[in-house]
Structures are given as C-alpha cells and as structure tokens.
C-alpha cells in the first residue's frame, strides 16, 4: 500500500469526521411562509375560456425552472386552453405590474384577445444571510421573499384571484448552536410558489 494511498484514506476519514461533527453541532434555520390575509380565500374555476400565462417576473436564475413548474401544474387543469405570449402570433405585451388598473387591463384585453391573464412575480426583499451562518452572527439579519400570483378576467376587467406569500428566515436570540444552515432566497421563492399553486385548486 503506497504512502499516497494511505494519506488519501486518512484525509477521507478526517473529512467525514468534520462533516459529522458539523452536523451534530449545527441546525437548520427554516423559513416561515405566511399567506397574506387579503389573499383570495377560494380556488379558481378553470372550466371555461382561454388563459394566457405571462412571462414570470422572477430572478433570472429561477425563470426557466419556475416557468416549467407553473406550466406543468396549470396544464393539469387547462390542457390546451393554456397559452403563453410566445404562442400568440403578432403581439407585443406591455409590462404588466401586479395590481394593474382598469386602463392596463383594457389594453391587455385588446392586445391578447383572450379571456384570462395569469401574472406571477417573485422577488427578493432582503438577502442578508448566506446559505450558512456562524455563532455570533447579527440576529437582525434575515432573508425575505415575496411571491404573488394574480389572475385577471379580461372581459370584466377585474382581478378574480390574488394570493401573496411572504417567506422569512432569521436567527433568534435563543439560538445556541455554533453553525446554521440557512434556507436560501431562491428556494424560498420556489416553495412559496408551490404553496400558491396548491391553493389554486377549487
């Protein structure tokens, strides 16, 4: 057995020991997920009309992943009735904010010429903690995200569904471990959107 091989075995054992020790004296700081009290308390009737899913307004690194997630979930209810701006010929969508006014909804109606419009935004409000934290870290630091899904009826020019989830993770004064794994902001947005999509079922 060569010296190099022995050395590798020692290093491997030491690495495993370090990982195990870290796990024993560490904990996971989980995020809390709060549905806004003003969110629509009921689900959505997907039984009629055509539905346009807007381009998701989310961090760039999440856009493809979340678009696939949303299309997969909505397709269970809408099948071929779910459209995207790219699937509609000869249109150029304006930027559609959350809580658009009647003027914007009327403009949207004349642009897409379909019945319903789905608008999703996920944003990072605060990102003050890394994926891990050490003892004596600032307890005022926190990660916060906001995720919103809204549906507009383009015939009545009204918002028929709106749900907002605030996700938050922070250290507390009574934490006494030496090392903490922290839920990252991207993961918080993904989980928030999954929670919203579950609530869509009527």
The better pLDDT of the pair 15, 34 is held by 34
Percent share of the chain, pLDDT over 90: 57
Residue 19 predicted with pLDDT over 70: no
The pair phi, psi for residue 6, each rounded to 5°, is -60, -40
The two structure tokens encoding residue 182: 């922290």
Nearest to 29 by CA among 149, 153, 154, 128: 128
User: Would you place residue 25 in the very low, low, confident or very high pLDDT band (cuts 50, 70, 90)?
Assistant: very low
Q: State pLDDT tens for residues 184-200.
A: 899 999 999 999 999 98
Residue 59 CA to residue 65 CA, distance in Å, equals 11
Q: Tell me the per-residue pLDDT of 158-178, one tens digit each, with 9 for 90 and over.
A: 999 999 999 999 876 555 555
Closest to 28 measured CA to CA, from 139, 187, 169: 169
Select from 70, 49, 73 the least CA-distant residue to 152. Answer: 49
Regarding pTM above 0.95, the answer is: no
Residue 43 pLDDT > 60: yes
The phi, psi pair for 60, rounded to 5°, reads -55, -40
């Amino acid at each position: 057995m060569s010296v190099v091989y022995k050395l590798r075995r020692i290093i491997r054992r030491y690495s495993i020991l370090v990982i195990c020790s870290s796990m024993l004296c560490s904990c996971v700081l989980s995020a809390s997920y709060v549905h806004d009290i003003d969110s629509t308390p009921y689900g959505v009737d997907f039984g009629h009309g055509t539905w346009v899913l807007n381009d998701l307004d989310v961090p760039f690194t999440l856009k493809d992943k979340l678009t696939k997630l949303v299309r997969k979930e909505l397709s269970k209810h809408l099948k071929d009735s779910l459209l995207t701006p790219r699937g509609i010929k000869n249109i150029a969508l304006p930027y559609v904010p959350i809580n658009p006014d009647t003027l914007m909804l009327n403009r949207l109606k004349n642009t897409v010429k379909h019945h319903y419009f789905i608008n999703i935004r996920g944003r990072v409000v605060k990102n003050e903690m890394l994926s891990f934290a050490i003892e004596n870290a600032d307890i005022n630091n926190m990660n916060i995200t906001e995720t919103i899904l809204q549906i507009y009826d383009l015939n009545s020019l009204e918002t028929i569904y709106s749900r907002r989830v605030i996700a938050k993770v922070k250290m507390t004064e009574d934490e006494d471990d030496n090392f903490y794994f922290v839920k990252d902001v991207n993961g918080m947005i993904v989980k928030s959107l999954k929670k919203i999509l579950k609530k869509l079922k009527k």
